[in-house]
């Protein structure tokens, strides 16, 4: 900014924001290698998460191949009304809630328990081996895992072999609607258990060791150290991850279910993601599929905002995500 004093001398005064912006650019240039490494992730985020947001207008328009995706007439909430009057959508919604809640109730505490157990291993070498073994299933695609579990639970698989050895009758595990949901939930938790415990393990590593030393002097055993030191010290991390988990309450795992679903178990495994896939890709009903997908996203947003608000009221600002 140019400013003249009483004697007529002209001087240039740099505004605070100008200096701040220059500092930001200098820092970015100094760390340009790291920003370059971030570039592929940012590009993927923009292409696959932000650009498709414009396509949500399809949920309120009648799609036409002739005029383009967004040129159809505005139909309001037509496709949302159609969804809630469709028994297949209601069935998919019920299945999604059942599988997601089962995963959340059973699967959310298990990574915490695993992290606490790993934290108690005194040997760093054995701790790393245990972490590596628990991480391994995370890096295996569900296309591969579905094939493995199909062979394990098949009529000629090892489980039915053991059952027949003890005089029992073979069970069609993946064809029984009453058993398939339990298998889906159990295998899903097993696959993500190690990866889900990473943040808890890192949080426990930051707990002050002097707290445990003081507890040992006071005569506290391992269980008391866990319940009165470890868990309270990572409680904020637990709450934040729970809030983020609620955002995916209607994500029941498309990859897993799409690869493990059989015609006899469709009634129990048809979830919103597979339902959207069938409506949009197979039946080319893009507007209806977009409406169902938008409904799922809105429900997840409501859950996150509500859980974040309650966490702030109960635990204070430190327990909130934003």
One digit per residue, the tens of pLDDT, for the chain of length 322 reads 544 455 555 454 545 545 556 788 888 888 889 999 999 999 999 998 888 888 888 899 888 777 776 777 888 899 999 999 999 999 999 999 999 999 999 999 999 999 999 998 888 899 889 988 998 999 999 999 999 999 999 888 899 999 999 988 999 898 888 889 999 999 999 999 999 999 999 999 989 999 999 999 988 888 999 999 999 999 989 998 898 888 888 888 899 999 999 888 899 999 999 999 999 988 889 999 999 999 998 998 898 888 888 888 877 777 777 7
**Cα separation of the two ends of the chain:** 36
Residues 89 and 71 in one domain: no
Instruction: Give residue 155's pLDDT.
Output: 87
Residues 313 and 216 in one domain: yes
Q: Print the domain residue range for 198.
A: 80-319
C-alpha 286/C-alpha 58 separation (Å) is 7
Supply the CATH number for residue 295's domain: 1.10.3720.10
C-alpha 236/C-alpha 245 separation (Å) is 14
Closest by Cα among 248, 252, 269 to 260: 269
Residues 208 and 67 in one domain: no
Residues 95 and 161 in one domain: yes
Residues 72 and 86 in one domain: no
CB 307 within 8 A of CB 246: yes
How many domains does the structure of the chain reveal? Answer: 2
C-alpha 180/C-alpha 172 separation (Å) is 10
Residues 223 and 304 in one domain: yes
Q: Last residue of some domain: 52, 76, 100?
A: 76
Residues 103 and 71 in one domain: no
**What's 254-297 look like in SS3?**
HHHHHHHCCHHHHHHHCCHHHHHHHHHHHCCCHHHHHHHHHHHH
87, with CB counted inside 10 A (0-12, 13-18, 19+), is exposed
Classified as helix, coil or strand, 189 is: helix
What is the model's pTM? 0.83
Q: Last residue of some domain: 28, 47, 76?
A: 76
Residues 132 and 84 in one domain: yes
Cα 309–chain centre separation:
20
Q: Per the structure block, which two tokens stand in for 296?
A: 């799922």
The DSSP output letter for 164 is H
CB 111 within 8 A of CB 196: yes
Residues 54 and 118 in one domain: no
Instruction: Give residue 312's pLDDT.
Output: 81
Q: Last residue of some domain: 76, 107, 133?
A: 76
Residues 258 and 194 in one domain: yes
CA distances (Å), origin 5, targets 1, 14, 16, 253:
13, 15, 20, 68
12, with CB counted inside 10 A (0-12, 13-18, 19+), is exposed
Residues 210 and 307 in one domain: yes
Residues 86 and 72 in one domain: no
Classified as helix, coil or strand, 10 is: strand
CB 254 within 8 A of CB 274: yes
Q: Per the structure block, which two tokens stand in for 142?
A: 């569900």
């Amino acid at each position: 900014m140019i400013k003249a004093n009483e004697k007529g001398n002209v001087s240039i005064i740099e505004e605070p924001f100008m200096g701040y912006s220059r500092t930001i650019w200098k820092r970015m240039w100094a760390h340009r290698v790291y920003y370059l490494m971030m570039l592929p992730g940012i590009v993927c985020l923009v292409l696959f998460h932000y650009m498709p947001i414009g396509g949500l207008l399809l949920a309120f328009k009648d799609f036409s191949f002739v005029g383009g995706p967004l040129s159809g007439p505005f139909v309001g909430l037509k496709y949302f009304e159609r969804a809630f009057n469709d028994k297949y959508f209601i069935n998919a919604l019920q299945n999604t809630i059942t599988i997601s809640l089962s995963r959340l109730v059973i699967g959310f505490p298990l990574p915490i328990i695993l992290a606490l157990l790993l934290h108690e291993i005194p040997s760093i070498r054995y701790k790393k081996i245990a972490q590596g073994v628990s991480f391994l299933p995370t890096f295996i695609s569900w296309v591969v895992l579905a094939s493995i579990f199909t062979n394990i639970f098949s009529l000629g698989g090892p489980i039915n072999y053991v059952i027949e050895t003890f005089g029992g009758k073979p069970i069609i595990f993946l064809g029984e609607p009453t058993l398939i949901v339990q298998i889906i939930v159990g295998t899903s938790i097993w696959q993500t258990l190690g990866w889900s415990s990473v943040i808890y393990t890192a949080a426990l590593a930051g707990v002050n060791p002097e707290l445990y030393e003081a507890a040992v002097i006071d005569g506290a055993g391992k269980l008391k150290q866990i319940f009165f030191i470890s868990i309270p010290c990572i409680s904020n991390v637990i709450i934040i991850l729970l809030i983020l988990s609620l955002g995916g309450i209607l994500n029941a795992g498309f990859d897993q279910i799409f690869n493990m679903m059989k015609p006899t178990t469709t009634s129990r495994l048809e979830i919103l993601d597979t339902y959207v896939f069938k409506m949009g890709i197979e039946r080319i009903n893009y507007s209806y599929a977009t409406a169902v997908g938008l409904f799922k996203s809105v429900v997840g947003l409501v859950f996150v905002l509500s859980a974040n608000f309650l966490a702030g009221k109960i635990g204070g600002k430190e327990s909130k995500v934003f």
